[in-house]
Amino acid sequence: MSLVEEGAHAPAAPGGAGGPGAAVEVSGLRMRYGSTDVLRGIDLHAQPGEVVVLLGPNGAGKTTTVEILEGFRARSAGDVSVLGADPATGDERWRARLGVVMQSWRDHGRWRVGQLLSHLARYYTPYAEPGLPEPRPVADLLETVGLTGYAHRRINTLSGGQRRRLDVAIGIVGRPEVLFLDEPTAGFDPEARRDFHDLVHALADENTTILLTTHDLDEAEKLADRILILAGGRVTAQGTAAELADRVPADAEVKWARHGQRFVHSTPDATAFLRELLEEAGDEVTDLEVRRATLEDAYMSLVRRHEAGGTHDAAAAFTEEVR
Ligand SMILES: Nc1ncnc2c1ncn2[C@@H]1O[C@H](COP(=O)(O)OP(=O)(O)OP(=O)(O)O)[C@@H](O)[C@H]1O
């Protein structure tokens, strides 16, 4: 895990610069809306086939970051490269190599599902080069996202979750090399969510680079090769879910039962506490459980620190505590 403080760029890979061959490379990205600085120097990178998850509270700048990488939003400053091109000047051939699932689409609700996907697939056809696959056939797409049988349904008659599945199908119709997914599973039922996670793993296995935003920490843990936490316009921490959770200074929770009575105790040193407990009453202790810090604990700890004292202080305090 690495921590990034004001004005500093991320350290060397895997937390830092992507180096040659990176699918996405961002350095010192800044975005200002009016007089408000939303992004204050973001560094991030993703290697081909890597799944990078952006976490952060509402308004942290996740969508802004993703939209800049997609070429839909002009940045205020910084260097950005996606598949070797600057998104601000990327041409149609470059765009055809990307897949985008935005937070909301405003397409024509009276279109039918299959009609829209066929129409979009035609956009990619001229860019299919010898050796490169054609756009995905509509029937395959519908099966992949669990919408088989919905080809003739009008889009405005889909439920929220079905609409979101269609959004994912739209994102992958052109077999993208880089796929941006902005809160893709909002409104998914548990089965759709699991199917989607399988899809992300399959796409990553095919070497698709995926940049995903979510508020679902379980989802982040399941999918991410690397998680970046955004707060106060900066990447305040990054690492695997396990790395982030391991280093949070949260207490462990020990639960046990004795003579049928249940007990819970929070402790910074579970090993010492257990030793004492078992020495005192080892034969009588049953149903022993130890819960250690999770990604959620790490996330909450960092975001609360940020809210209390600003990102710079939060990152510095977090660094102190993980030493
Ligand atoms: N076009 C705009 N003009 C002015 N401010 C904007 C604009 N778009 C976004 N913002 C502001 O920029 C900040 C970051 O917004 P953004 O949508 O990137 O956050 P986010 O991390 O994606 O949030 P959420 O989790 O709620 O989707 C917010 O304070 C938002 O109000």
For the chain, what are the domain ranges?
24-244, 250-322
Ligand 1 geometric centre to CA of 33 (Å): 9
Alpha-carbon span 117 to 49, nearest angstrom:
25
| pLDDT band for position 296 (cuts 50, 70, 90) | confident
Q: How many Å apart are CA 26 and CA 179, to the nearest integer?
A: 16
Q: Is the CB of 254 under 6 A from ligand 1?
A: no
Beta bridge partners of 40: 30
Tell me how far apart the alpha carbons of residues 214 and 66 are, in angstroms, rounded to a whole number: 12
* pLDDT confidence bin for 308, thresholds 50/70/90: confident
What is the number of the ligand 1 atom nearest to the C-alpha of 56? Answer: 21
What is the per-residue pLDDT for 133? 66
Distance, CA of 27 to CA of 4 (rounded, Å): 12
Give the confidence band of 245 by pLDDT, cuts at 50, 70, 90: confident
Ligand 1 lined by 232 (C-beta under 6 Å):
no
Give pTM, 2 decimals.
0.83
Ligand 1 center from residue 62 Cα (angstroms): 8
For the cut 60, the answer to whether the pLDDT of residue 311 exceeds it is: no
What whole-number distance in Å separates Cα of residue 11 and Cα of residue 45?
A: 11
- What is the interface pTM, i.e. ipTM, of the complex? 0.97
- Cβ of 38 below 6 Å from ligand 1: yes
Domain 24-244: top CATH class: alpha beta
